[in-house]
Amino acid sequence: MNTQNQQRALPEPSSARSRSLIDKEPALIVVTGIMAAGKSTIARLLAQQFARGVHVPADMLQHMIVSGGEWVKEPGEPGGEEARQLRLRLKHMCLLGRSFLEAGFTVVLDDIILGERWQHLQADLQGVPFSVVVLAPRVDVVAKLRDPGRAMPLVGEEWAKYLDHVLRTTMAECGLWIDNSEQTPEETVYQILQSLWFEQHV
């Protein structure tokens, strides 16, 4: 693990490299990865690097369902109400992303995008250029970091192995892949900033 004095600092806002990123046209970035990969932490920190940045976490939309909410509870392809609510939250995450982008913000969306959800995302963002960042830490790291205090149940290594397999199988050719197993969030964001605007989809 990196020590404090080895951590790579984020670019200063006054630096030419950082300023060139901030001054670019507003962009839409999707951060994906399996549970506990660091999506929300890194997406929020990434959005903060822009003069006008927005972070839209899919979990926040799921929490808006205050009665009748159905989280996915076990490994495997979700069905029924769980699948319907997952599709609904993805749709509205993309609607919010479009709206903020049109208002001049750089938007960072974060959700577990894999399998058919990749096709759903592309359909929901049709006509909008976007970049994809895939966080892919090692399964053993993810399984140890899962927070039992979250709304979704603690299912540990079984969940992590299943999602990691599906992610690597269905998203292998998509976007910028980062193994952030041994990185701090700041180091991961720095790597994203250095590679930003790498790949866009319409």
CB atoms < 10 A from the CB of 194, how many?
Answer: 12
Within 8 A by CB and 6+ apart from 76, the residues are 162
Please choose, from the candidates 3, 34, 27, the residue with its C-alpha nearest in 3D space to the C-alpha of residue 195. Answer: 27
Residue pair 135/175 in contact (Cβ under 8 Å)? The answer is: no
Backbone angles phi, psi at 30, to 5 degrees: -110, 125
Arithmetic mean of pLDDT over the chain:
83
**Model pLDDT, residue 160:** 86
Lowest mean pLDDT among 25-29, 163-167, 194-198: 194-198
Does 192 have pLDDT greater than 50?
yes
Domains of the chain: 25-195 (3.40.50.300)
